[in-house]
Structure 1
Amino acid sequence: MAPRKQQEIFDATLRLVAEKGYDGLTVEGVAECSGVNKTTIYRWWPSKAALLGAALIEADVLGFDPPDTGSLRGDLVSLVEAVTRLLTERPSGDIAVAALAAAVRHPELDAHRFFADRFAREREIFERAVRRGELKESADPMLIVDMLAGAVWMRAVFRGLRVTDDFADAAVAALLDGI
Structure 2
Amino acid sequence: MAPRKEQEIFRATLGLLVERGYEGLTVEGVAERSGVNKTTIYRWWPSKAALLAAALIEADALAVDPPDTGSLRGDLEALVREISALLTESPSAEIAVAALGAAVHQPELAEATRRFFADRLAREQQVFERARRRGELREDADPMLIMDLLGGAVWLRAVFRGLPLGDGFAAEAVRSVLDGAALPAHPA
> What TM-score bracket applies, with the shorter chain setting the length?
over 0.9
> Does structure 1 residue 87 correspond to structure 2 residue 87?
yes
Structure 1 residue 101, shift from structure 2 partner:
1.3
Deviations 1:73-99 (A, max 9, x none): 000100000000000000000001111
| SS at 1:108 equivalent | helix
Question: Identity, % of aligned pairs?
Answer: 73
Deviations 1:141-172 (A, max 9, x none): 00000000000000000011111111101111
Alignment correspondent of 1:126: 128
Structure 1 residue 178, shift from structure 2 partner:
1.1
| Equivalent residue for 2:160, pick from 144, 158, 161 | 158
Q: For the residues of structure 1 that align with 2:100 and 2:68, how far apart are their CA atoms?
A: 27
Deviations 1:109-132 (A, max 9, x none): 221111111000011111000000
TM-score, normalized by length of structure 1? 0.98
Equivalence map 1:10-25=2 (5 Å): 10-25=10-25
Structure 1 residue 26, shift from structure 2 partner:
0.9
Structure 1 residue 35, shift from structure 2 partner:
0.4
Where does the alignment leave 5 or more consecutive residues of structure 2 unmatched?
182-188
Q: For the residues of structure 2 that align with 1:166 and 1:177, how far apart are their CA atoms?
A: 16
Q: For the residues of structure 2 that align with 1:89 and 1:40, how far apart are their CA atoms?
A: 31
Q: For the residues of structure 1 that align with 2:124 and 2:107, how far apart are their CA atoms?
A: 24
| SS at 1:69 equivalent | coil
Q: For the residues of structure 1 that align with 2:114 and 2:53, how far apart are their CA atoms?
A: 9
Q: For the residues of structure 2 that align with 1:104 and 1:127, how far apart are their CA atoms?
A: 33
Q: For the residues of structure 2 that align with 1:84 and 1:3, how far apart are their CA atoms?
A: 27
Alignment correspondent of 1:142: 144
Matched AA of 2:121? F
Alignment correspondent of 1:33: 33
TM-score, normalized by length of structure 2? 0.93
Alignment correspondent of 1:168: 170
Where does the alignment leave 5 or more consecutive residues of structure 1 unmatched?
none
Q: For the residues of structure 1 that align with 2:41 and 2:91, how far apart are their CA atoms?
A: 23
Alignment correspondent of 2:106: 106
Matched AA of 1:167? F
> What is the Cα-based RMSD across aligned positions, in Å?
0.8
Structure 1 residue 107, shift from structure 2 partner:
1.1
| SS at 1:83 equivalent | helix
